[in-house]
Amino acid sequence: MKLEFLHSINEYGDQLIRLYDFDKAEAILFRDTVKENLLNNKSLDVNSLPFIEAVNCKLILHIAEEDEGIMTQDDELFFCDLTIDGYKNMLRLIEPFCNKDLRNFQQLYELDTQIDFLFSPSGQW
C-alpha cells in the first residue's frame, strides 16, 4: 500500500492524499489498524505501519473535536483531523474493499476541504 500526495489534480487547485496499490488483504490490515489503534488512542502515524510505503509525504490521523479533514503547512507532513464518528464512517467506506478485490475508488470523507483523501487499489480517481 502506497501513500502519496498529489498537487493540483484539477483546474481548481484541489489536492489529494491517496492510499493506493493494495489488495483486499492490505485493505483489511489498514481497516483493522485504524480500528484497533486510532479509535483507542488519539493519533495514528500512518507512515509507521509496516505495510505502508510513503512516496512523498507523511500522514498522521488524529481524533478531533470537529471533522476538519486533511491539512498541511509544508506539503510534506499532513494531519487528518476527524471525530470518532468521522473515522467510524471512514471504516464503513473502506469495508467493501475488505470483502473483495475491487478496482474502483472511494473518497474517505465528504468535507469541503482543499485536500481530499482517496482510497484506491489501482490509484485511479
User: pLDDT tens across 72-116, in order?
Assistant: 999 999 999 999 999 999 999 999 999 999 889 999 999 999 999
Q: What is the DSSP letter of 24?
A: H
pLDDT of residue 87: 95
The one-letter code for the residue type at 71 is M
pLDDT of residue 8: 85
pLDDT of residue 13: 85
User: pLDDT tens across 36-74, in order?
Assistant: 888 777 799 999 999 999 999 999 999 999 999 999 999
pLDDT of residue 33: 94
pLDDT of residue 40: 78
pLDDT of residue 10: 87
Domains, the chain: 2-8+15-120 (3.30.1360)
Look at residues 123, 102, 94 and name the one whose alpha carbon lies nearest to residue 23: 102
* Cα–Cα distance for residue pair 67/113, rounded to 1 Å: 10
User: pLDDT tens across 2-25, in order?
Assistant: 999 999 888 888 899 999 999 999
